Chain A
Amino acid sequence: MLNRRNFIKTIVGTSVAVPGILNANDNLGKDIKFDEIADVIIIGSGVSAHICAAYLVKNKIDVLMIEKMDRIGGNSALSQQDFAVLNSDLQIKAGIKDSEELFLNDLNKAGAGYNHLEHSLRIIRNSNEAYEFAKSCGVKYADKLKFLGGHSVARSVETIGGGGACISTLNEFFIKHNGKIKNETKCDEIIQDESGKIIGVSVRENYRFNRNLANDDRENLSGDKKHYKARLAVVFATGGFSRDIEFRSIVNPRLRLAKSPSSLGQTAGALKQMLKVGAIPTQLALSRFSFGIPTEDLIYGIMVDCNAKRFLNEDGDRQGLSNKILAHMEKINTTIYPIIIFDSTGFANSHDPNRMQSFITAGKMKKFDSLSDLANNFKLNENDLSKTMQDYETGISNNKDEFKKDLSKIKNSSMSKAPFYAMTAAPGLSYTPGGVYADINMRVLNISNYEPIKGLYAIGEATGGVHGQSRLTSCSIPDCMTSGIACAKDILKGV
């Protein structure tokens, strides 16, 4: 927020903006000279930004999108973009019986009651509209449904070409409809007028993100300062903060040691800007992990820490296992991730052997002819490792596992038949469920009175409280898309 002295005086009665036409407000830059002006300024260039932008430009609104990174698309460009949709054409064609109640049940179960119901319903009820809108912009979906974990029916559509294709298609659509985008332009501050209404942002053009800094938001001074004015609204579509080790360790110390497969720019800077103008921080301590290997297969192997010792029951979901791994690493004071080991019997028990094979081709999992090769490769003490494996086998023969694993489920897996297969077990923080709280029109609410902060919207992963304790698979994309459209519609109401 700029300090009071820099506030711009607004003339009463000119707050209704006319898209595409300069109105009286625009000339008020007494204290601030605005370098750019647009009806709507969208911060971020992921799927939520692009869907919102596409909807607005299609309705002739003049939109300027800015992105701090060189890369367009943030995490959305890395994402598979599996997309849960209620009553899609594909569900109807396949005769799948789905309903609002079923979908809500699934979301509530994952969210464990931490999820705001009105947002769950926003996602469910508008998912098909969003999917159809994305298609109308040219995004392509495979002609099959996915039945993903945590969903009670097959309801997820598959984006052809994943997030990369989705973002480049939407970007083309946006540009074709006269949308403007500037990358390497970072939003630094939200500008308010005297009444508290959001009227623009202060940015740096020619900004170059520096991955070597401990905190790019605080330390990076690159770029040329500019001021942009928004006639109608500023939309924060700024994603999560999974790469911001400093910030995520403050909101939840358990997250400190997590790895992150996220885009390098996923930091908390934008979130902090919204908090400064009074947004409500919501559920920032929550996390969502990816694991690199289907966790249902882990029961057939063992996981050992850097001392070659087991420390948990390998049978668990990725959220639970990730938490236990990170807690154990803190306890034994190491930054080294544990190793997952299968012998050839355990490896063969995988529910998806082709996928396991693909991990080997990708170099993610390695095959070892002897235990000493494995121990060498991961710098484990061979004797200790061998003892751990023997203990595990003794447990199997006595039908009593040290960590209470249900041995009746391991399908005769053992831990002694070469070749061995192993990979690092690194909990990957790929999504941060926390963010600012917004109403279902995606207006950011003010912490002092719970009223919307005029002119400020937040969409996509930047918002919090939507998914609750654990976000259901393939439900970020419908969240990003439905929030983008809800925001666009609310902005259009004011035109």
Chain B
Amino acid sequence: MQKLLMILILSIFALGNEFVIKPHHIEVKLKCTDCHKEANEKDYKALDSNSCLSCHGSKEKLAKRLDFLKGKNPHNSIHDNANLNCYTCHNEHKPSFNMCNTCHNTKTWMREIK
């Protein structure tokens, strides 16, 4: 907990209140410029999925890792297969959003979303 708090405080310190980075990304020492390629900070735009996948591999690879969830794999669901963009659920600078949860009670099979 304390470690987490430290990380959080550090991240706020480093980036200003507006653009907090998620703890798991701080842990691997990600900087703004690792994702945002624009030269000027004020030109930073929302990222597309390819930016995430440049580290995380392909959507298929990510889907495979959750194969054990059988029919309830959020990265390869019966509704969308592996077609959704990362940001439909995952946010970096604000809390993420579990879209499955808008219809299903995901507590019984899914952890909190990072």
Instruction: List the interface of chain A (C-beta within 8 A of B).
Output: 70-73, 77-78, 161-165, 168, 208, 211, 261, 264, 361-364
Q: Bits for B63-88, please: 1 = Cβ < 8 Å to A, else 0.
A: 00000000000000111110111011
Cα(A54)–Cα(B83), bound, Å: 20
For chain A, what secondary structure do more than half of its interface residues adopt (helix, strand, loop), or is it mixed? loop
Q: Which residue of A lies closest to B88 (CB)?
A: A70
- Number of A-B residue pairs with CB-CB distance less than 8 Å in the complex they form: 43
Contact B79 A261 (CB under 8 A): no
Cα(A70)–Cα(B84), bound, Å: 6
Whether a CB of chain A sits under 8 angstroms from the CB of B53 is no
Contact B78 A364 (CB under 8 A): no
Instruction: List the interface of chain B (C-beta within 8 A of A).
Output: 46, 77-81, 83-85, 87-88, 97, 99, 102-105, 107-108
Q: Which of A70, A211, A261, A362 contacts B108 (CB 8 A)?
A: A362
Residues of the A chain whose Cβ atoms lie less than 8 Å from the Cβ of B46: 208
For chain B, what secondary structure do more than half of its interface residues adopt (helix, strand, loop), or is it mixed? loop
Cα(A163)–Cα(B80), bound, Å: 10
Residues of the B chain whose Cβ atoms lie less than 8 Å from the Cβ of A363: 105, 107-108
A363-B105, A363-B107, A363-B108 in contact; A163/B79 too (CB < 8 A)? yes
Residues of the A chain whose Cβ atoms lie less than 8 Å from the Cβ of B84: 70-71
Contact A71 B80 (CB under 8 A): yes
Contact A161 B102 (CB under 8 A): no
Residues of the B chain whose Cβ atoms lie less than 8 Å from the Cβ of A211: 97
Q: Which residue of A lies closest to B99 (CB)?
A: A264
Residues of the B chain whose Cβ atoms lie less than 8 Å from the Cβ of A361: 108
Residues of the B chain whose Cβ atoms lie less than 8 Å from the Cβ of A78: 79, 103
A70-B88, A71-B84 in contact; A364/B103 too (CB < 8 A)? no
Residues of the B chain whose Cβ atoms lie less than 8 Å from the Cβ of A161: 78
Contact A165 B78 (CB under 8 A): yes
Most buried by A among B80, B85, B97, B104: B80
Q: Which of B78, B97, B105 contacts A164 (CB 8 A)?
A: B78
